Structure 1
Amino acid sequence: MTRRELLYVKTVSDTKSISKAARQLFISQPSLSQSIQRIEENLGTPLFNRTTGGLTLTFAGERYYHTASQILKMYEDFEIEISDINNLKTGRIHMGTTDYLGTLILPSILPRFRDICPYIDLTITEANSAELEQGLLDGRLDFTIMHAPKDQHHPQLNYELLARDPFVIALSPDHPLLKCAIKKAGYEFPVLDIALLKDEPLLMLHSKQRIRQVTDVILGRAGIHQPNISLTLKNFETAQLLVAQGLGITLIPRQYSSRSAVQKQPAFCSIDKKYDACWDRCIASLKNSFLSKADQMFIRITKELVS
């Protein structure tokens, strides 16, 4: 397998189209089609399913794609390592962050980074946590600034802790459960036992969003394994707005709740420390991967400014 062959298969898979891949690779469509056919003939097995909806990977194709991604990442790492000899005069960074976290941290990080590294080509991918982790595994991203999984960390990824943010319970200002909340020293809000939410209608985010994943773990620690989910949303600010209107209860990171733009604010309750109801902002990267000097500089600035 040559580097060109690896790149051809990976690009066709990413675009799901010979014609789109050919344009991206700046070669003719017939030439790319013939190359893919030769690769499949040499391997003795098809890599793609040809369907009316486009090209999809066969099982062998999935294995080839995974290997190609890793090898191409090694090539890229080597090139970046060589470029480091230029002492940050050239180079590139492919980093990722979640949509909302990016609005919180990038405005403080990027000006400082640009002052120090004005010639580094920076590409930022904004996506949900699952997509960012896959980007690291595929070699498309050097590192990400995100929130770590609550319980099961991916075995191939490193999660370096930056900061911890507690979750709080958001409910309407006239909700009866507020009478059960108890003021305790060391807590910002009155403490409400999570177990009391067992039969309450909950507003939850989608399962691929890290807030939802952390919420599921917190509820599970309170014995709530089948919560009463009345509505599933993508936007946590929408969830807060609906909570304030009395349409349910939600769990949300404290930092995010304070930046909500909703006019009518919900009431908030703290969660007892025994539930470890928090999430960890982190730098995630592939284990044993090479991080360039530019990567390391960006990470160092991040630690200094937003930890």
Structure 2
Amino acid sequence: MTSRELLYVKTVADEKNISKAAKRLFVAQPSLSQSIQRIEDSIGSKIFIRGTNGLKLTQAGEKYYQMACQVLKIYGDFEAEITDINDLRAGHIYFGITNHLGAIILPGILPAFYERCPNISVEIFEGSTTPQENKLIAGDLDFSIMHAPASEAEANPSLHYEILADHPFVLALSRQNPLVHRAVPKEGYEHPVLDLELLRDQPLLTLTKEQRIRHITDSVLKKAGIAPHIRLMSRNYMTLERLAALDLGYAMLPGDYVSINRYNNPPVFLSIDRKYGAYWSLCIATLKNSYLSRADTFLLEILRKSFSGSTMLKKV
């Protein structure tokens, strides 16, 4: 059993397709199929079976996959420690970040990182929070820059979340919506505050279930005792913002995101009472008890300093 064999099984399991796995591994498909067959012969059990949605792990395959993830993580940590011994002269960082955060945060931290570590290669996985958490648990990512779960109950017990900053959510409504005039200015809130009870019969525009904005929205409405009528789901918060402006429904969005958009006829933004916990927390997520290389640690220190001065905080 070699590290290459472990990687082969893990990649096929992740892709659920021999052809896709072969492309990702840069090997010929017949060669990969033969390697999987040899591995199955060596353990005396099938690892994969063909299902309606591609290849599925057997019970033995599940055990093999879990072991492969653990061993590959240990090997990756070993390589990272050797890189540290070489004093950052070479190495590789692979971390996750959401698409929107990447565009805002990375230009503020990567130039300083490369000035100190010009020979460290950086690979970025850009995706929503659920795929990032899955990759962290599988040992694929060193760390992720994301927004923390809406509550401790929703937090993955295998992960550690280091909070960097909290940002409130706002409601986006059309200027033509009569509820806009029922919002009340309150001290300590950026916008007039709207009673969520008034939204009970209003259609909701929201994001997909694997996105953290959706998690926060669901949590807030649950606390308010509202079972929303979802009119539309999208993966793009800007789409929801624009549609809310056209009076297709209301949207609950991060105030730090909507504040950077500029276009004609925007929606009206209203604040939400703090008792509903309508905010999210920017965080660094890591697998508990995992090893972070010196390069990882250095990049994260730059990230922390960028928030301690609050210059980036006003943009994010």
Query: TM-score w.r.t. structure 2 length?
Result: 0.91
For residues 223 and 285 of structure 1, what CA distance do their matches in structure 2 show? 33
1:257 to 2:258 alignment: yes
Deviation string, structure 1 residues 228-274 (Cα, Å, up to 9, x no partner) = 11111111111111111111101000100111244221111111111
Report the AA paired with residue 219 of structure 2.
V
Alignment of 1:293-304 (within 5 A): 293-304=294-305
Alignment of 1:101-250 (within 5 A): 101-151=101-151, 152-224=154-226, 226-250=227-251
For residues 96-143 of structure 1, what are the alpha-carbon distances to aligned partners after superposition, in whole Å with 9 as ceiling and x for unaligned? Answer: 100111111111111111111111110011001001001101111000
> How do residues 5-16 of structure 1 correspond to structure 2 at under 5 angstroms?
5-16=5-16
CA distance in 1, matches of 2:299, 2:191: 35
Name the SS for the 2:222 alignment partner.
helix
Pairwise CA distance, 1:60: 2.6
My pick for the range that moved more, 146-155 or 52-61, is 52-61
Deviations 1:176-228 (A, max 9, x none): 1122211111111111112221111110111111101110001111011x211
Residues 1:215 and 1:124: Cα distance change in structure 2 (over 3 Å): same
Amino acid across the alignment from 1:211: I
> 2:313 matched to which residue of 1?
none
TM-aligned CA distance change 1:254 to 1:86, over 3 Å? same
2:107 alignment partner AA = P
Alpha-carbon distance, 1:44 to partner: 3.0
Mean Cα deviation higher: 116-125 or 47-56? 47-56
User: What is the one-letter code of the residue matched to 1:117?
Assistant: C
Question: Aligned pairs, how many?
Answer: 306
Partner of 1:267: 268
Q: Which stretch of structure 1 is more off in the superposition, 103-112 or 282-291? A: 103-112
SS in 2 for 1:93: strand
The structural deviation recorded for 1:36 is 2.1
Query: How far off its partner does 1:3 sit?
Result: 2.3
SS in 2 for 1:281: strand
Paired-residue identity, %: 53
Match in the other structure for 1:70: 70
What amino acid maps onto 2:252 in structure 1? L
Range 14-23 or range 169-178, more displaced = 14-23
CA deviations over 1:46-87 (Å, ceiling 9, x no partner):
111146975332233233222211210110111110110111
TM-score of the aligned structures, taking structure 1 as reference length: 0.93
Q: Could you say if the C-alpha distance between residues 255 and 23 of structure 1 is closer, same or farther in structure 2, counting changes exceeding 3 Å?
A: closer
Structure 1 regions of 5+ residues with no counterpart?
none
TM superposition shift of 1:34: 3.6
DSSP 3-state at the match of 1:291: coil
1:20-39 equivalent positions in 2, closer than 5 A = 21=21, 25=25, 31-39=31-39
C-alpha contact 1:159 1:283 (8 A) present in aligned 2: yes
Cα distance in 1 for residues equivalent to 2:191 and 2:24: 54
SS at match of 2:67: helix
Aligned to 1:240, the other structure's residue is in SS state helix
Task: Classify 1:29/1:249 alpha carbon distance in 2 versus 1 (closer, same or farther; 3 Å).
Answer: closer
> Residue 159 of structure 1 contacts residue 284 of structure 1 at CA under 8 Å; is this kept in 2?
yes
In structure 2, list runs of 5 or more residues that go unmatched.
Answer: 309-316
Secondary structure of the 1:280 match is strand
Alignment root-mean-square deviation, CA: 2.0
Structure 1 23/221 Cα, relative in aligned 2: closer, same or farther at 3 Å?
A: closer
